Amino acid sequence: MTDPLEQEQVAALAQIEALTREFDEVVAASRSSNADDEHDPEGATIAFERQQVVALLEQARARLADVEAALARRAAGEYGICETCGRPIAPERLAARPAARTCIDCAR
């Protein structure tokens, strides 16, 4: 059986790697285009794409941080315990969100 937290960690790292490559490609494309975004019809698109990739990269890094925090909680024997109320987090919630920090009641 595969560990869901390790699967999440691998997926997050792969996503970060792919988005970093995409960001590098967008930056390289912007270097070869007209740098005058105001008058270049493609300029705004390149700037938008760059910002979109940056936002996705930040989300992926936050996802990785959540997974690493869950792995640390597991190592400390605290995984599956709600950080807010101290009750167990339902197995169904952990199956859906392996890095969950709170039970469903506290998440509301």
Q: pLDDT tens-digit profile of 22-77?
A: 999 888 877 776 555 555 555 567 788 889 999 999 999 999 999 999 999 999 99
Looking at the structure, do residues 71 and 88 belong to the same domain, yes or no? no
Same domain, residue pair 20 and 68: yes
Shared domain check, 96 and 71 = no
Evaluate whether 106 touches 82 at the Cβ level (below 8 Å): yes
This prediction's pTM:
0.80
Please tell me the predicted confidence (pLDDT) of residue 29.
Answer: 79
Residues 15 and 64 in one domain: yes
18 or 1, greater pLDDT: 18
Does one domain contain both 27 and 51?
yes
Angle at 19 between CA 43 and CA 73, to 5 degrees: 140
Query: SS3 helix, strand, coil % of the chain, rounded to 5?
Result: 65, 0, 30
Whether residue 101 is found in the same domain as residue 66? no
For residue 66, give the nearest of 89, 87, 97 by alpha carbon. 97
C-alpha distances (whole Å) from 106 to each of 29, 34, 86, 95 are 45, 51, 10, 17
Q: How far is CA 12 from the centre of its chain?
A: 6
